Amino acid sequence: TLSQLEKKDKYIRLLQAAKSKADSINLALAVNLKSVLREGIEDEDVEIKVDKTVVFVNLSDKMLYQSGSSNITSRANEVLGKIAQIIQSRPELEVMVEGYTDNVPIKNSCITDNWDLSVKRATSVVRALQTTHKIDPNRLIAAGRGEYNALASNATAEGRATNRRTRIIILPKLDQFYDLLNPNNVPD
């Protein structure tokens, strides 16, 4: 019926407006992050990208940790503090921290392998965001990706350095996103 078509059309406009708003918010978030992180940080140490509904902050391994360690450096804590300021201002967003390694095997008394190292590094960043920078732990997710999902070839030292990174992903709370997609939420 015409009424049903009008209702669906209204719902489509609502979804388009929500997507447009999310895109604008993410762009503003990325601009704010770039502005806050500009001072005193080398360009190759931080990369900020917007992709669809999320903002990615890639942090180089050499800035965050000493080789083979998951302990955060004081320099890294300073950078995380700047990122935390932006995160604090956006309580409707969640933060996923992913650790990545190269493919060089590691094993010591505290670390079993690259999976283990990547998880410990992500967890270290999450703990710093929670304890030092007071981000609500309910908004934080830690994940280790090991040597997988490489950005560059592990055949060269430069490629391995690129692959050793920590990615902070700032994303909308998924339950809010799914609420938008629920057909029962179609406006009358």
Question: pLDDT (tens digit, 9 = 90+) per residue, 68-125?
Answer: 788 998 888 888 998 899 899 888 889 999 999 999 998 788 899 999 999 999 999 9
Q: Is the pLDDT of residue 23 over 70?
A: no
- The predicted pLDDT at position 33 comes to 66
Q: Is the pLDDT of residue 36 over 70?
A: no
pLDDT, averaged across the chain: 82
Nearest of 18, 116, 102 to residue 61 by alpha carbon: 102
Distance between CA atoms of 112 and 96, rounded to whole angstroms?
Answer: 23
Q: Between 2.30.130.10, 3.40.50.2300, 3.10.440.10, 3.30.1330.60, what CATH number should domain 2-181 receive? A: 3.30.1330.60
SS3 188: coil
96 HSE (CA, 13 A, CB side):
12
Residue-wise over 80-91: b if at least 16 C-beta within 10 A, else e? Answer: bebbbebbeebe
Q: Is the pLDDT of residue 181 over 70?
A: no
In 89-156, which ranges are continuous DSSP H helix? 114-127
SS3 78: helix
Model confidence at 146, in pLDDT bands (50, 70, 90)? very high
3-state per-residue secondary structure call for 140-161: EEEEECCCCCCCCCCCCHHHHH
CB neighbours of residue 26 within 10 Å: 20
- The predicted pLDDT at position 35 comes to 67
Residues 130-136: what's their mean pLDDT? 96
